[in-house]
């Protein structure tokens, strides 16, 4: 198993364990939703936490950022998850700049399926976590 795959499994496992133990009982003010596509730079726009994993997907990134109590989650370049409490310091860009297909799969209706977009190169596809 690759190191990136192991990191993803550990992140997902920690989210599941936290939920089981009651640490994930966070009240949401709204449901998670996509906000838009935003530019990023070396000094990250979403600067609270980041994880790079070849198998990460939007749903896992949202869970991770929610558990860590961040208001926003962003997917970048297919396999980066960024979390933060603010976004947009480098400006919003056209949605067409956030069209890289996700490399990970999601569990849907009892099947693994591929799909969704996960940002772009130096472009965050930003979502509210609902906190």
The percentage of residues in the chain with a pLDDT greater than 90, rounded to a whole number, is: 53
Q: Judge whether 60 and 8 are in contact, CB under 8 Å.
A: yes
Residues 54 and 75: beta-carbon distance below 8 Å = no
pLDDT tens sequence across 65-110: 999 999 999 999 999 999 999 999 999 999 999 999 887 665 455 5
- Model-level pTM? 0.73
CA–CA separation, 92 and 85 (whole Å):
16
Residue 54's pLDDT is what? 83
């Amino acid at each position: 198993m690759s190191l990136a795959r192991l990191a993803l499994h550990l992140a997902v496992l920690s989210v599941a364990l936290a939920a089981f133990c009651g640490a994930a009982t966070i009240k949401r003010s709204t449901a998670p939703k996509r906000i838009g596509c935003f530019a990023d730079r070396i000094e990250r726009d979403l600067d609270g936490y980041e994880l790079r994993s070849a198998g990460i997907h939007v749903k896992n990134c949202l869970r991770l950022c929610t558990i860590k109590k961040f208001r926003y989650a962003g997917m970048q370049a297919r396999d980066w998850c960024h979390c933060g409490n603010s976004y947009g310091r480098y400006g919003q860009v056209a949605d067409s700049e956030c069209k890289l297909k996700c490399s990970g799969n999601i569990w849907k209706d009892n099947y693994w399926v591929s799909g969704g977009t996960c940002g772009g190169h130096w472009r965050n596809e930003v979502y509210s976590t609902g906190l």
